[in-house]
Chains A and B, each alone.
Chain A
Amino acid sequence: GEDVEQSLFLSVREGDSSVINCTYTDSSSTYLYWYKQEPGAGLQLLTYIFSNMDMKQDQRLTVLLNKKDKHLSLRIADTQTGDSAIYFCAESSGYSTLTFGKGTMLLVSP
């Protein structure tokens, strides 16, 4: 079945850029997503990218998609302590359910 892989942990200093990487196996993926989960809360959609796009930028967030390598990344510019959270990559083939990665815990230190 489909699989989505992420590294489990990333630590950065405040003000640096963070890059969270994700790989997926489903070549029919239509949409790819980044969700954020703050401690004790549900998931919140950050951004998504359609598979015919290479890049999407939204304020401090930049999503890059390499469809050939099935690689998705999320770059957070000027990372703040409030960005500390778990970030989930997810993919959908457009028919129904999402397949989530296991999440990357981002820790931002002052």
Chain B
Amino acid sequence: DVKVTQSSRYLVKRTGEKVFLECVQDMDHENMFWYRQDPGLGLRLIYFSYDVKMKEKGDIPEGYSVSREKKERFSLILESASTNQTSMYLCASEDNRGASGTQYFGPGTRLLVL
């Protein structure tokens, strides 16, 4: 079974803090993704990565950065957290050798920025 884990289920931070959200997958997948999920807006893609040290901007990259130093780990960084970044953050991984778009999701991190 594919397993995607996220470092925290719930996180509370203050405005201006630097926040790291970690995601690890154990299936040697090349592709990894970060989304945020907000009521009424569905899932929006923040960043994705096709390989180690590679990153691509998604639909809403502003205020975020990412790091992929190892294949299994994809980190999302909020350089200076703001209240409008309060959201549910979902990480996913995908095996690009199989059927395209079969993404496997982690359980999510619910972030509250005060």
Verify that A and B bind, or say they do not: yes
A residues sitting closer than 8 Å to B (CB atoms) are: 30-31, 33, 35, 40-45, 48, 50, 88, 90, 92, 94-98, 100-103
Supposing A100-B42, A100-B43 touch, asked if A48 and B106 sit within 8 A by C-beta, the answer is no
Question: Contact between A41 and B108 (Cβ–Cβ < 8 Å)?
Answer: yes
Q: Give the B interface residue count (CB, 8 A).
A: 23
B76 within 8 A of A: no
Question: Contact between B99 and A97 (Cβ–Cβ < 8 Å)?
Answer: no
**B105 touches which of A43, A48, A50, A94 (Cβ 8 Å):** A43
Supposing A41-B108, A96-B48 touch, asked if A102 and B41 sit within 8 A by C-beta, the answer is yes
Contact pattern, B 26-45, Cβ under 8 Å of A = 1, otherwise 0: 00000001000000111101
**A94 touches which of B45, B50, B100, B107 (Cβ 8 Å):** B100
A-B contact count (CB 8 A): 55
Question: Contact between B42 and A102 (Cβ–Cβ < 8 Å)?
Answer: yes
Contacts of B66 in A (CB 8 A): none
A-B contact pairs, 10 of them (CB 8 A): A30-B100, A33-B102, A41-B108, A42-B108, A50-B99, A88-B42, A92-B100, A92-B101, A96-B48, A103-B42
Contacts of A45 in B (CB 8 A): 102-104
Contacts of B99 in A (CB 8 A): 31, 48, 50
B90 within 8 A of A: yes
